[in-house]
Structure 1
C-alpha cells in the first residue's frame, strides 16, 4: 500500500520532487489569490446583514479552514515518521508547522477584525475562537519542541507525538458551533448540498480557498527543501547542488 512512499524516504528524491512541483503550485497560487481577492473585495455583492464588513471573509474563511487542514496534513506526516521511520516525513512536520502557524494567526487576526464591528469586541472566549487559539499554541509547541533538541531525530519524534495529540482539537474546532452556544456563525460553504451563501460570494471565496491551499503547499515545500539542506548539508549531493 505504501510502496509509492518508499522512494521519497531518500531526501534527494524528495528535494527534486519539490523542485519540480514548485512552479506548478506557486504561479497558480498567486493568480488565484489575486483573482479571488479582487473579485471578492471589489465586485462580489455585499452581505445583506453585515454589509461590506463581511468582505473580510475572503481572507478569514480560507485561512480558518486551511489552518485545520494544514494541521491534519502535519499530523499525517508525523504518523508516517513515527510508524515507518521515514526521515523526510519528520522534516515535513518541521516544514509544515511554521506555515500552519502563520495561517492560523491570520485566521485569528482576521476573525478579530471581523468580530469588532459585528460583536462590538476584538476578542471573546467563544468556543470556536478559543479552540482555534489552542490550535495556534499546538503549532507553536511543535515548532518549539522540534527546535529544543540538538538531536533533530529525537526532536522530530517528540514533535510528532505532540502533533498527533493535537489532532483531538480539530473536531472540537469544527463542531464547536454545534456543541456549544456560541457567537460564531455556523457552517456556510461546507453544506455542499445547499450552501447558505450567494453564488456571487461563493465563487470568489472558493477561488481564494484554492489559491491559499496552493500557497500553503508552496511555502511548505520551500521550507521542506530548506530543512533537507540543513539536515543533509554534509551529504555529497547537497554539496554538488550548492556548487551548481
Structure 2
C-alpha cells in the first residue's frame, strides 16, 4: 500500500476519491463542534464567555505543531529515502501549519487581553510559538527563493530538521519555566482535569480542525503535483523548440517550372 501511495499518479487517484469525503466530514464535525462550543458548553466560572476562544485557540495550536511534525517526517523521507512525495507533502504542509500557528497567536492575544490585561507578554509558550511562526516563514521564503524543486527540497529539509528543536520547547515550556499558561490538562497522566461539559466540545472541535487540515493538505499536495507536471511539460516543450531551431529542416528541391518564362 505504501509503495502504491509513493506513486504520484496513484496518489492523485486515491486522494481525488478521499478528498470530498474528508472535506465534507470536516464541515459537519466543525458545525457540530461550533454548536456545542457556543450554545451547549457552559461559561467558565472565572473567565465567563471569553473561555469560548479556547475552542479555536487550542485546536489551532495543536495543528500548528502537528503540521511541523509532518514536515519534519517528510524531510526525513526526502533526505534519507528519497520518497517521491515527501517534499511535495512538506511544501503543502508549510503554509497550512503557518496559518494555524498564526490563528493560535491571534486568538491567544484576544484571549489574553481580558485575562492578563494585555495582548502580549513574553511568556515562554507565547515566545516559542512566535519562534515557530518565524521558522514557518523562513521555510516558505526558502521554498520561493530556489526555483529548482530538488535543490529547494534538500535545503528546506535541512532547515526543517534544524527548526524541529523548537517543537519540544513549545510542548514542555509550561513545565520547564514558570509561565502564565497552565500545564497540560487534556492529555496527561491520571486523566484530563477539564470538566466533560467543556472537554467534549473541545475534542470535537479538535477533530473537526484536524479533518480540515488533512483536507487542505491533500488539496495542497494535489496542486503541487499538477504544478510540477506543468513545469516539466513546459521545460520539455521548450527543449523541443530549441532543438528544432538549432537543427532546422533541410530545404527541399526547387520546384519544377513548366511553361513559358
TM-score by length of 1: 0.92
Residue number among 203, 223, 226 corresponding to 1:226 in the alignment: 223
**Using the alignment, how far apart are the partners of 2:232 and 2:144 within structure 1?**
22
- The CA distance in 2 between the partners of 1:196 and 1:112, in whole Å, is 24
- Residue 150 (structure 2) pairs with residue 153 (structure 1): yes
Q: Does 1:81 align with 2:62?
A: no
Matched with 2:63 is: 66
Quote the offset at 1:235 in angstroms. 6.5
Structure 2: runs of 5 or more not aligned? 234-261
- 1:148-176 Cα offsets, whole Å, 9 max, x none, are 11111100111111111111111110110
Matched pairs, number: 233
Q: 2 CA distance for matches of 1:24 and 1:72?
A: 24
* 2:85 match: secondary structure: helix
Q: How far is the alpha carbon of 1:206 from its aligned partner?
A: 0.2
C-alpha distance in 1, partners of 2:6/2:200? 39
RMSD, matched Cα: 1.4
Q: What is the distance in 2 between the residues matched to 1:228 and 1:196?
A: 44
Structure 1 unaligned runs (5+)?
237-244
Give the superposition deviation at 1:8. Answer: 2.8
- Corresponding residue for 1:95? 92
From 174, 192, 210, give the equivalent of 2:207.
Answer: 210
SS at match of 1:87: coil
Indicate the residue corresponding to 1:6 in structure 2: 3
Per the TM alignment, residue 6 of structure 1 is displaced from its structure 2 partner at its CA by 2.6
Residues 206-238 of structure 1: per-residue CA shift (max 9 Å, x gap): 0000000000000011011000001112668xx
Counterpart of 2:194? 197
Normalised by the length of structure 2, the TM-score is: 0.86
In the alignment, structure 1 residue 114 sits paired with structure 2 residue 111 = yes
- The reply to whether residue 49 of structure 1 matches residue 46 of structure 2 is yes
- CA distance, structure 1, for counterparts of residue 141 and residue 171 of structure 2: 26
Deviations 1:13-36 (A, max 9, x none): 121121121022111111111111
SS in 1 for 2:127: helix
- What displacement does 1:78 show? 1.2
The reply on whether 1:174 has 2:171 as its aligned counterpart is yes
Report which of the two has the higher share of helix. Answer: 1
Work out the CA distance in 1 between the residues paired with 2:13 and 2:134.
Answer: 32
CA apart distance, 1:38: 1.5
> 3-state DSSP class of the match of 2:118?
coil
1:193 CA displacement: 3.2
Question: Residue in 1 aligned with 2:25?
Answer: 28
Deviates more, 1:104-113 or 1:187-196: 187-196
- Shift of the 234–113 alpha-carbon distance from structure 1 to 2, 3 Å rule, reads closer
- Compute the displacement of 1:192 (Å): 5.9
Of the two, which has the highest radius of gyration?
A: 2
What's the CA shift string for 1:123-182, capped at 9, x where partnerless?
111100000011111111111111111111100111111111111111110110110011
